[in-house]
């Protein structure tokens, strides 16, 4: 089985530039005569790695500059997100204060006082972590964003799971 490899030249003609041959199932070969190919003007034979501040174009034939976009605190969206985060922070702090003030009441004791405090503190820190995502990113804030939010959110989810398991055990013990 033989197939011809054709190339569309700039003149509008298909030119034979090679052959694909197969004598058996395992013996396949592609022979291309590069000198027969008429490359477009300015076409490079090798790939170039784009710099960190660049990205490849859709056709992957050149590098384009990256445009840095971020939510600025001065913008209306940035300001509203920051205000919302601070409002939720105040709300979480108020709920935590109520839990600490009434820590010896039966309701707080039944709600697993220690886990409730850990959950409220971790939720408070999660809300504060969202402030790291507002404004121009720097190396320190980029590293802190991922690590801090990941750690605090993991503690919050683990605390919710621990509280759920405590409730399940309480119902099992009742039976």
pLDDT by residue (tens digit) across 107-144?
888 888 999 999 999 999 999 999 998 988 888 888 88
Higher pLDDT, 40 or 48: 48
Instruction: Note whether 31 and 82 are same-domain residues.
Output: no
**What was the pLDDT predicted at 15?**
73
pLDDT at residue 9, as a whole number: 52
Confidence at residue 46, expressed as pLDDT on a 0 to 100 scale = 66
- Report residue 37 CA to chain centroid gap: 42
Residues 20 and 102 both lie in one domain: no
How many residues are present in the chain? 175
DSSP assignment of 103-167: TTSHHHHHT-HHHHHHHHHHHHHHHHHGGGGSS---HHHHHHHHHHHHHHHHHHHHHHHHHHHHH
Most confident of 25-29, 59-63, 86-90, 134-138: 86-90
The parent domain of residue 4 ranges over 1-43
Could you tell me if residue 143 is inside a domain? yes
Same domain, 36 and 88: no
Task: Indicate whether 32 and 95 sit together in one domain.
Answer: no
The predicted structure's pLDDT at residue 164 = 92
- Binned at pLDDT 50, 70 and 90, residue 82 comes out as very high
Dihedrals φ, ψ of 146, to 5°?
Answer: -70, -50
Same domain, 16 and 93: no
Asked whether residue 101 falls in the same domain as residue 27, the answer is no
Q: Are residues 102 and 16 in the same domain?
A: no
pTM: 0.62
Among 113, 110, 107, 109, residue whose Cα is nearest residue 174: 110
Which DSSP letter does residue 52 get?
Answer: T
In a domain, 49, yes or no: no
Looking at residue 79, its pLDDT comes to 95
Asked if the structure places residue 158 within a domain, the reply is yes
Number of domains in the chain: 2
Question: What pLDDT does 1 receive?
Answer: 42
Listed range (56-65, 115-124, 127-136, 161-170) with the worst mean pLDDT: 56-65
Is 39's pLDDT higher than 90?
no
């Amino acid at each position: 089985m033989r197939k011809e490899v054709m190339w569309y030249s700039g003149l509008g003609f298909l030119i034979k530039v090679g052959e694909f041959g197969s004598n058996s199932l395992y013996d396949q070969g592609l022979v291309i005569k590069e000198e027969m190919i008429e490359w477009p003007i300015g076409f490079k034979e090798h790939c170039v790695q784009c710099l960190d501040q660049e990205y490849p174009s859709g056709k992957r034939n050149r590098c384009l500059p990256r445009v840095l976009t971020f939510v600025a605190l001065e913008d209306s969206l940035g300001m509203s997100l920051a205000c919302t985060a601070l409002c939720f922070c105040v709300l979480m702090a108020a709920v935590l204060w109520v839990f600490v003030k009434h820590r010896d009441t039966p309701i707080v004791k039944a709600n697993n006082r220690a886990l409730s405090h850990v959950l409220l503190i971790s939720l408070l820190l999660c809300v504060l972590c969202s402030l790291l995502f507002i404004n121009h990113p720097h190396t320190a804030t980029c590293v802190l964003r991922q690590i801090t939010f990941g750690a605090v959110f993991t503690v919050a989810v683990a605390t919710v799971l621990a509280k759920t398991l405590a409730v399940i055990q309480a119902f099992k013990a009742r039976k």
